[in-house]
A and B are shown apart, each in its own frame.
Chain A
Amino acid sequence: MNTRATRIAGFVGFGALVALVVVLPAFVSDYNTQRFAYVGVYLIALLGLNVLTGYTGQISLGHGAFMAIGGYTSALLMVGNEQFGGPIGGGVRDVWTIPVAGLVAGLIGFAFGIPALRLSGLYLALATFAIAVATPPCSSASSSSPAAARESSSSGSPRRPGRSRGRSRSSATRSPTTSGSTTSPGRSRSSRSSVPG
């Protein structure tokens, strides 16, 4: 009896929420609509994290990396990477890219899950944290062709000592800037203010 009541209440509440989402854009500014959309985005990410940490008790600090994989998949399918010399033509309608992106991120997550099964607690946290920080440079490496990157790096000043430190500087400073809004935890907070704007 009681469970039935809560179930009905749940359905009603869910229906009300759906109705609210549908009518909300008519009453608030575009800017605020976008902010509410971000609430939805984070909610979905949180649901995913809850499956992992809430139900199975595994720590993941690298969840943003999978958000990034989904985002990149979607963007590649829509726009393609031919202008960067890549093989993907793009042109897929935006709605259809979302399930594909979910599938791709899911497969990669599954692949990562196999070794992750052998890690637990602190070590899992450590490995997933490294994934969070390492994903942005990974994606920028694959979007710029290596030959071009090499050319630009070797066409610079003549060799001087400490140059490789200079090069490591580029990776050290670039990684936080490209990490943008999703991945590294330290970054996500500081850039959140810039996300809606």
Chain B
Amino acid sequence: MVLATFADFMQQVVSGLASGGVYALLALALVIIHRSTGVINFAQGEMATLSTYIAWTLTANHGWSYWPAFVATLALSFGGGVLTHRVVIRPVERGDVLRIVIVTIGLLIAINGFVIWQWSGQPQQLGSPFGTSVIDVGGVAIAAQDIGTIAVAFGIVALLWVLFRFTKVGLALRASAVNPEEARLVGVRVTWMLALGWGLAATLGAVAGMLTAPTVGLDPNMMQAILIYAFAAAVLGGIDSPVGAVVGGLLLGVLLNLLSYLSQYHGLGWFTEELRLPTALLVILVVLLVRPTGLFGKPEVKRV
């Protein structure tokens, strides 16, 4: 009995890590954009939804197989992200916060409307590349989809780390985020680096969307709740810290799953599914009020 409960518990942890991996990817996208351009991209979720729809239409309507569609979607999303920065964001980047917020909210509404117009609001089914099999690891049954999601999330994080840490582009990206003026002086094309950041973020969002769609079903509002979890994850980790975004995402995924699990067995009956989102809201509020820098953030130095 105890063993069964433990297996249950581990299952919850693993599937929490899987959904946490998705939150982490989207949170990472938010952090990359916030670090480089100081913008919180409210349209990040909808951009991911759009990417996922592109992947779906390639596989379902144009007969592509999954992985070519996956790669093509990432490429398209990257281009879309760069384009978004050049066309939509750059003109308002240096303005008032309210302007930026409203522009990204407008982007959210526009993309949402575009997706509904183009593909209707009908839920669709995007296939999973990992299949539906279940793997038994020491009495703990784990869905292949969960393992695949975790693997892809960690793989992407590792790739990103290598990019930022060991390549010239990564160095330029970091330089333009930390000190745009001096970066420009040493010959970094800062505005292109910012656009590159948006492209990377859009690509991350696309991966997150494609990992999410097989489990929750593809519909135009699929990423709205996940965006809130990603916000919570990013805030929890410290909105400027990539490591924090990943840790925050995984923590949040496991926390929410364990709360649901406990609610079934251990007298937390009031914690229903509907309270997952408000929990994320609570995390956002508490972190912002008690420790605005999050777990890994550095205290913000006000720019003059």
- List the interface of chain A (C-beta within 8 A of B): 53, 57, 59, 61, 115, 118-119, 121-123, 125-127, 129-131, 133-134, 137-138, 140-141, 144, 146-147, 149-150, 153-154, 159-176, 184-187, 189-190
Whether B97 lies near A121 (C-beta < 8 A) is yes
Least CB distance, A120 to chain B, in whole angstroms: 8
State whether A126 touches B221 (Cβ < 8 A): no
Q: With A and B bound together, what is the CA distance between A153 and B98 in angstroms? A: 42
Q: Does B162 contact A (CB under 8 A)?
A: no
Q: Which residues of A have CB within 8 Å of B105? A: 61, 185
Do the beta carbons of A172 and B280 come within 8 Å of each other?
no
Q: Are B225 and A172 in contact (CB under 8 A)?
A: yes
Known contacts A127-B285, A165-B215, A190-B121; is-contact A170 B264 (Cβ 8 Å):
no
Bound Cα distance A176, B225 (Å): 8
User: When the two chains form the complex, which single residue of A53, A127, A160, A173 contacts B219, counting CB atoms closer than 8 Å?
Assistant: A173
A189 in contact with B109 (CB, 8 Å)? yes
* Chain B residues near A172 (CB-CB < 8 A): 216, 222, 225-226
Among B248-283, those with CB < 8 Å from A are 256-257, 260-261, 263-264, 269-278, 280-281
Q: Could you jot down 25 A-B contacts, CB within 8 Å?
A: A122-B101, A125-B42, A125-B97, A126-B235, A130-B228, A131-B281, A133-B228, A134-B277, A134-B280, A137-B273, A161-B141, A161-B143, A162-B143, A162-B145, A164-B16, A164-B260, A167-B260, A168-B19, A168-B276, A169-B215, A172-B222, A174-B273, A185-B109, A187-B112, A190-B121
Contact of A165 among B15, B46, B220 (CB under 8 A): B15
Which residues of B are interface residues toward A (Cβ below 8 A)? 8, 11-12, 14-16, 18-19, 39-40, 42, 46, 97-98, 100-101, 105, 108-109, 112-113, 116, 121, 123, 134, 141-143, 145-146, 215-217, 219-222, 224-228, 231-232, 235, 256-257, 260-261, 263-264, 269-278, 280-281, 284-285, 288-289, 292
Measured between C-beta atoms, what is the minimum distance from A12 to chain B in Å?
Answer: 34
Q: A187: which B residues are within 8 A, CB to CB?
A: 112, 221, 224
Report the nearest B residue to A137, measured CB to CB. B274
A65 to chain B, nearest CB (A): 10
Q: How far is the CB of B138 from chain A (nearest CB, A)?
A: 13
- Alpha-carbon separation in the docked complex, A77 to B176 (Å): 56
B292: which of A123, A153, A166 is its contact (CB, 8 Å)?
A123
Cβ B264 vs Cβ A150 within 8 A: yes
Q: Are A168 and B256 in contact (CB under 8 A)?
A: yes
Q: How far, in Å, is B230 (CB) from chain A's closest CB?
A: 11
Q: How far is the CB of A48 from chain B (nearest CB, A)?
A: 17
**Contact indicator B221/A176 (Cβ below 8 Å):** yes
- Using CB atoms, name the residue of chain A closest to B34: A122
B134 to chain A, nearest CB (A): 5
- Which single residue of chain A is at the shortest CB-CB distance from B282? A134
Cβ–Cβ contact A125 & B278, under 8 A: no
Instruction: Provide the residues of chain A in CB contact with B222, threshold 8 Å.
Output: 172-173
CB-CB < 8 A to B121: which residues of A? Answer: 190
A138 contacts across to B, CB distance below 8 A:
274-275, 277-278
Asked whether A146 and B146 contact (CB < 8 A) given A125-B101, A134-B228, the answer is no
Known: A130-B231, A133-B277, A175-B277. A189 touches B112 (CB 8 A): yes
Residues of B contacting A189 in the complex (Cβ-Cβ under 8 angstroms): 109, 112-113
Closest residue of chain B to A61, judged by CB? B105
Q: How far is the CB of B151 from chain A (nearest CB, A)?
A: 15
Which among A163, A164, A171 is the interface contact of B274 at CB below 8 angstroms?
A: A171
Asked if A115 and B285 sit within 8 Å, CB to CB, the answer is yes
Tell me, in angstroms, the Cα distance from A141 to B263 when the chains sit together.
14
Question: Are A175 and B42 closer than 8 Å at their CB atoms?
Answer: no
User: With the chains together, A97 CA to B278 CA distance in Å?
Assistant: 27
> Contacts of A146 on B, CB cut-off 8 Å?
269-272
Contact B260 A137 (CB under 8 A): no
Q: Is the CB of B216 within 8 A of A137?
A: no
Q: Which residues of B contact A171 (CB under 8 A)?
A: 225, 273-274, 276-277
**Beta-carbon contact of A129 and B42 below 8 Å:** yes
Q: Is the CB of B235 within 8 A of A164?
A: no
